[in-house]
């Protein structure tokens, strides 16, 4: 009888401990501070001694980021690409290297077209962000002077890969010339 009572009390204690741990984890996740997706841009502006973004500019850039992300959700392969894959596989199974090569070329061209289109859209995004930075303010010039052309372009185009509402800080670091720069191509003009 005493063993049953001890076992019951032990199980209840274990259950209560599990509930406390679960509740603590849930609360900790809810109270986790959101990361600023514009943090790299803001740090770069600060390091370059340029004017801060206004709340309206931050909102516009975040809206562009969100819109870009919504427009570029991972899409399943197109029907044409799926058909080319099937034809490619069938050609291999049939031992037809000419047909397999033809289908491989179709698949490669479809992927190249998609990559080129994405690069065009990333460029459009970056152009819009630079327009929001307001060329008259000198922000872009200060960032280019601080980071170099390549670093500035990578900073702006890199915003498309950051969550528009929350995310991990990619961050800037000391570049090879001592200035602040992006991890890749820091300070490269």
User: What are the tens digits of pLDDT across the range 53-75?
Assistant: 999 999 999 999 998 988 877 66
The residue-averaged pLDDT of 71-94 equals 84
pLDDT > 70? residue 30: no
CA distance linking residue 155 with residue 121, whole number of Å: 16
**26, 154 Cβ separation under 8 angstroms:** no
Average pLDDT of span 92-116: 92
Q: What pLDDT, on the 0 to 100 scale, is given for residue 71?
A: 83
Given pLDDT bands bounded at 50, 70 and 90, which one contains residue 111?
confident
HEC profile for the chain? CHHHHHHHHHHHHHHHHHHHHHHHHHHHHHCCCCCCCCHHHHHHHHHHCCCCCCHHHHHHHHHHHHHHHHHCCCCCCCHHHHHHHHHHHHHHHCCCHHHHHHHHHHHHHHHHHHHHHHHHHHHHHHHHHHHHHCHHHCHHHHHHHHHHHHHHHHHHHHHHHCCCCCCCCCCCEECCCCCEECCCCCCCC
User: Taking the domains of the chain in order of start, what are their residue ranges?
Assistant: 1-32, 33-181
The neighbour count for residue 139, using CB atoms within 10 Å, is 22
Cα–Cα distance, 115 to 138 (Å, whole number): 32
Query: At residue 49, does pLDDT exceed 80?
Result: yes
Quote the CA–CA distance of 52 and 32 in Å, as a whole number.
Answer: 25
Identify the residue with better confidence: 134 or 66: 66
Across 10-19, 53-62, 129-138, the highest mean pLDDT is recorded for: 53-62
Q: Given a cut of 90, is residue 6 above it in pLDDT? A: no
pTM above 0.75, yes or no: no
| Pair 38, 55: CB distance under 8 Å | no
Does 32 score more than 80 pLDDT? no
- pLDDT over threshold 60, residue 187: no
């Amino acid at each position: 009888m005493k063993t049953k009572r001890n076992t019951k009390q032990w199980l209840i204690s274990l259950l209560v401990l599990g509930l406390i741990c679960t509740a603590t984890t849930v609360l900790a996740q809810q109270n986790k501070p959101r990361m600023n997706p514009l943090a790299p841009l803001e740090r770069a502006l600060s390091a370059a001694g340029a004017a801060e973004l206004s709340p309206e500019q931050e909102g516009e850039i975040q809206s562009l980021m969100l819109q870009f992300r919504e427009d570029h959700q991972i899409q399943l392969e197109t029907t044409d690409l799926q058909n080319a894959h099937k034809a490619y596989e069938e050609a291999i199974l049939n031992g037809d290297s000419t047909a397999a090569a033809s289908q491989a070329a179709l698949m490669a061209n479809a992927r190249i077209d998609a990559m080129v289109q994405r690069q065009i859209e990333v460029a459009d995004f970056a152009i819009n962000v630079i327009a929001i930075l307001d060329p008259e303010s000198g922000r872009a010039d200060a960032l280019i002077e601080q980071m170099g052309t390549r670093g500035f372009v990578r900073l702006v185009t890199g915003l498309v890969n950051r969550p528009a509402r929350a995310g991990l800080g990619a961050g800037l670091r000391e570049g090879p010339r001592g200035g602040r720069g992006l991890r890749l191509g820091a300070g490269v003009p």
